[in-house]
Amino acid sequence: MNKAKESAYYEQPRPEMLAFLPEKITRSIEFGCSTGLFSKTVKEQKGNEAWGVDMDEQAIAIAAGRLDRALAGDVFDIIGQLPENSFDCVICNDFLEHLAYPDKFLQAIKRIMTTEGSLICSLPNVRYWKNIRELLFEKDWRYRDAGILDNTHLRFFTKKSMLRLMADNGYKVELINGINPTKSLRFIIPNLLTLGIHRDMKFLQFGIRCTIPNSFHNE
């Protein structure tokens, strides 16, 4: 990956994810925060304390100048060191698909979330129309440096399996919407002709906001 492309990856502002934030945030933590640009924006809008976690030490060095705390290292090691019931917003933008065991992560972060805490995440949609076209008509499944079939993706999700992932791990989905829709007529026209039955294929990703039912905290 050349430096120009690497810089663009690190500095993605993700404004489309701001709509998924809860109304009030006191302290947030973003896993896979890269240089902390998104959490910096959240901090500016909500006035909250912002933490970030990433394995890339160069990215975290930049995030340290933007956030209140920036931690580099393995996510599970770091979660074990974080204070209990301390974060009312956990952010995972295009992060869970990089984990071998996202269920383990979703269970682990419950310990650090407050009773009213929210989980905000975006996940790539493996049913995105270009990906399905390549699979069905080009008979290919080719990994790349970025996108749905990013070389570093270990898990793949549809909207349906995203909802199941959250439900199976005890989360209540408050909001789920497609983000970054295609503008290509090669998808839009066939979708209209089929009465929108494959509407989910329009979106490159889905954004989600979840909470944990109070029953978990009362156990």
Return the pLDDT at 5.
41
- Provide the whole-model pTM: 0.90
Convert the pLDDT of each residue in 116-158 to its tens digit. 999 999 999 999 999 999 999 999 999 999 899 999 999 999 9
HEC secondary structure over 17-61? HHHHCCCCCCEEEEECCCCCHHHHHHHHHHCCEEEEEECCHHHHH
Convert the pLDDT of each residue in 66-78 to its tens digit. 999 999 999 999 9
